[in-house]
Amino acid sequence: MTLLTRRTLVTGGALGAGLLLSGCDRLAQQPAFRRILFSGETINMGLQRALMDRNALAPEFTAEQMSPVFRTNGNSNPNTPDYNRHVAENFANWRLDVGGLVDRPLRLSLTDIGAFPQRAQITRHDCVEGWSAIGKWQGPMLGNVLKAAGVRNSARYVVFTCADLWSSAPYYESIDMVDAFHPQTILAWAMNDKRVSVGHGAPIRLRVERHLGYKNAKYVMRIDAVASLAGIGLGKGGYWEDHVNYDWYAGI
Amino acid sequence: MDDPTAPRQLPDPPAPAPLPPQTTGLVYRHGLATRIWHWINAVTIFVMIGSGIGILNAHPRLYWGQYGANFDHAWLDLRPYGSILRSGWLTIPAGYNLAISRRWHLLFALVLAFGLLAFMIASLINRHFQRDLRVRAKEVGPRHLWADLLAHLRFDFHNPDNPAAYNTLQKLAYVATIFVLIPLMIFTGLAMSPGMDAAWPWLIELFGGRQSARSIHFLAASGIVLFVVVHLTLVILAGPINEVWSMITGRWRLPAPREPDPAPSPLPEPEPAE
């Protein structure tokens, strides 16, 4: 009798757990609960911003601590006719457009980008999937480029539009002004003391070191200062944010 | 087992009053803070394990050190168990979706962390920690632990003199979970956040790198899964209705007095004085 009760309980418990799990999925479809579920991003961002100095630096490493192999991920070659032409020309005719809410829109060649004061940093790249790789990145601070373009006070975000197409729309990402003017946020044209390879985002990859990998956009073609993310893509601030609900705040 | 030269093996404290031990009726066993935290955690741990396995499935390899990816040496590669780890009954959500697993995990992580903090403060104030969870030196001696283990194997979980008190193995399991495993989960979780690594650089150093923190996170989670399995088993063995009801109302029905038992008593009998 007792054993039967126990067995019934164990079976009931397992069934209950299964029901609870499928209940979780049904719950997550409810708009009201989904808002609660997605509020974790806002709370975590608020807590992290409160705990962290505006210019607190991501850990930097020594050359001996670098990953022997830095794997690629996501798109490893945009492979569009325009991009392939730039690769064939070694990016000699490629230009980076800086526009939006700026007083002096810029068209920068790789030479122009190399003429800004440079910052080199050995940092850890953390993929949202869980792996990490340590590499060296070099380029001008995004903040200096934005200052050169005369970014306006009305700008609240910086949007990066990329050469790689995802279901025929360009990959894009965005960061706010705190991260845009962070000293480690650079437009990297060199990785591990060589020009950034096609696999890693040639000719320019954004490094925004307090965020996960998907925020570090490859193949950056355009930079726009904007007041709002509404109307760009699906309005959530990035390709993965729009299409699979990744957190816009990728510091977690 | 009895050693006449060991005088300090006696179970104490001595019964405070010559009242006959209370053998029936209800005793108030679980404070309000304990009960609230227990049920919040029952949901939270369930969500954290399910969504955590969902996140692990994105890259089911574990490394030691600062970095680690596909070309680096993994100390544990769970890909051979992928079909189990991706079972719909094990993960939140049921189908693989890293973004939604992370949404569940990182929201309920806040509940876990701030819930533990609130429970710790409440349990210091209502003296639950000092009264019920303090492990005395003599309790962790090998002789006492052995006796407690034998008692568990006989499904005898209660000291007849104080049946509502936690036994030693139970206390150690609670202490390890509350003061070691859950704090390790929280801090290794924070150490994996690139934002927190900038805010608190000492955190990642404490664990020897982000991939080490991720590995420790996995090991501590395995410890919590083990705790949950043993906990639920013992609830069933100890009488599930009384145990669950007491965690709702706080009131626990004392076990019926035991029949005279031919088996030896769980603790060594006190030596006669003199």
- Its ipTM equals 0.91
A37 and A61 fall within a common domain = no
Longest CA–CA span in chain A (Å) reads 84
3-state secondary structure of A223: strand
Contact B99 A244 (CB under 8 A): yes
Nearest CA to CA, how far is B4 from chain A (Å)?
Answer: 41
For B174, left (φ over 0), alpha (ψ -120 to 50), or beta? alpha
On whether residue A251 sits in a domain, the answer given is no
Helices (H), A71-134: 81-88, 110-115
Nearest-by-Cβ selection for A18 from B89, B107, B109: B89
* Residues A59, A20 share a domain: no
Any idea how long chain A is?
A: 252
For residue B216, the chain A residues in CB contact (below 8 A) are: none
What confidence category does residue B155 fall into, taking pLDDT thresholds of 50, 70 and 90?
A: confident
**Residue A250 forms part of a structural domain:** no
Q: Is A201 part of any domain?
A: yes
In a shared domain, residues A41 and A68 = no
pLDDT score of B163 more than 90: no
* Residue of B64, B78, B100, B117 to mutate for A, most A C-beta atoms under 10 A: B100
CB pairs under 8 A between A and B: 155
List the one residue out of B252, B250, B223 whose CA is nearest residue B157.
B252
Distance CA B212, CA B75 (A): 11
* DSSP-derived secondary structure for B200-227: -HHHHHHHTSHHHHHHHHHHHHHHHHHH
Handedness of CA A47, A49, A53, A55 (dihedral sign): positive
What per-residue confidence (pLDDT) applies to B9? 53
Same domain, A194 and A238: yes
Question: What CATH number was assigned to the domain covering residues B28-253?
Answer: 1.20.950.20
> What gap in Å lies between CA B255 and CA B270, rounded to an integer?
24
Is A250 in contact with B235 (CB distance < 8 Å)? no
A43 within 8 A of B103, measured Cβ to Cβ:
no
Chain A partners within 8 Å of B70 (Cβ) = 71, 131
CB B45 within 8 A of CB B228: yes
Q: Which of B149, B167, B145, B150 has the alpha carbon at shortest distance from B158? A: B167
**Domain match, A86 and A175 both:** yes
Nearest-neighbour CA in chain B from A161: distance (Å): 22
Domain count, chain A: 2
pLDDT in tens, B15-74: 444 444 555 688 999 999 999 999 999 999 999 999 999 999 999 999 999 999 999 999
A45: closest chain B residue by CA: B195
Tens of pLDDT, residues A27-75: 888 999 999 999 999 999 999 999 999 999 999 999 999 999 999 999 9
Q: How far is B130 from chain A (nearest CA, A)?
A: 32
A165 by DSSP, 3-state: which?
Answer: strand
Residue that is written with structure tokens 């992928």 in the block: B82
Instruction: Compare CB distances from B236 to A10, A124, A244 and report the shortest one's residue.
Output: A10
B214 Cα to chain A: minimum distance (Å) = 8
Q: Where are the domains of chain B?
A: 28-253
Report whether B228 contacts B75 (CB < 8 A): no
- As given in the structure block, the two tokens for residue A247 are 């957190």
Q: Quote the mean pLDDT of chain A.
A: 94
| Domain span at A38 | 2-47
Crossing angle of helices B210-238/B32-56, nearest 10°? Answer: 130
For residue B1, pLDDT over 70 is answered with no
Angstrom distance (rounded) from CA B259 to CA B69: 61
Do A35 and A85 reside in the same domain of the chain? no
Q: Do A17 and B55 touch (CB under 8 A)?
A: no
Q: How far is B151 from chain A (nearest CA, A)?
A: 20
Cα of A81 vs its chain's centroid, Å: 25
Tens digit of pLDDT for each residue in A197-250? 999 999 999 999 999 999 999 999 999 999 999 999 999 999 999 999 999 999
Evaluate whether A149 touches A103 at the Cβ level (below 8 Å).
yes
- DSSP-derived 3-state class of residue A73: coil
Res A201: pLDDT: 97
List the structure tokens of B220: 């501590």
Nearest residue on chain A to B233, judged by CA atoms? A10
B199 vs A128: CB contact, 8 Å cut-off? no
